[in-house]
Amino acid sequence: METTAKDVPNMGTTREDANGEFAKEVIVFVLGNPGSGKGTQCSRIVKHYGFCHLSTGDLLEAEITSGSEHGTLIKNIKAEGKLVSTEIVAKLLQQAMKKSENKKFLIDGFPRNQENLAAVQNIASMCNFVT
């Protein structure tokens, strides 16, 4: 059975509960190989359904551009040809979600590997609906 946007219940307007968790959020993790059309589909979903598109690649680049301590660390890791740690990526995603006034998120580029799954479960546990 296919789930459409109309099947997703109204999640209300509460941004965070008393613990600062995402009590009323909808998160969709968009997975696929490079060049498979993830970005194209995310653009269509954003336009049609009003989701906030969070690309981990874009978040990492924005952090590098900011010149922050984390940005410098990320820049150095990428320069060495290594993947940025799950902890850093998850933290950037959570910060972006908290800053956004949207309650519906498309997360593109995460999870990338088995190690990321624990972070996905952590993010998902803070939400009302995840697919």
Residue-wise pLDDT tens digits, 22-54? 556 788 888 888 889 988 999 999 999 999 999
| pLDDT band at 128; cut points 50, 70, 90 | low
Domain boundaries, the chain: 23-130
CA–CA separation, 59 vs 94, rounded Å?
11
Which position has the higher pLDDT, 68 or 14?
68
CA–CA separation, 94 vs 99, rounded Å?
9
The predicted model gives 71-75 an average pLDDT of: 95
Q: How confident is the model at residue 11, as a pLDDT?
A: 35
Share of the chain above pLDDT 70, in %: 73
Token pair of 109 as six digits: 């580029």
CA–CA separation, 130 vs 103, rounded Å?
12
Query: Selecting from 3.40.50.300, 3.60.21.10, 3.40.190.10, 3.10.450.50, what CATH number does the domain 23-130 have?
Result: 3.40.50.300
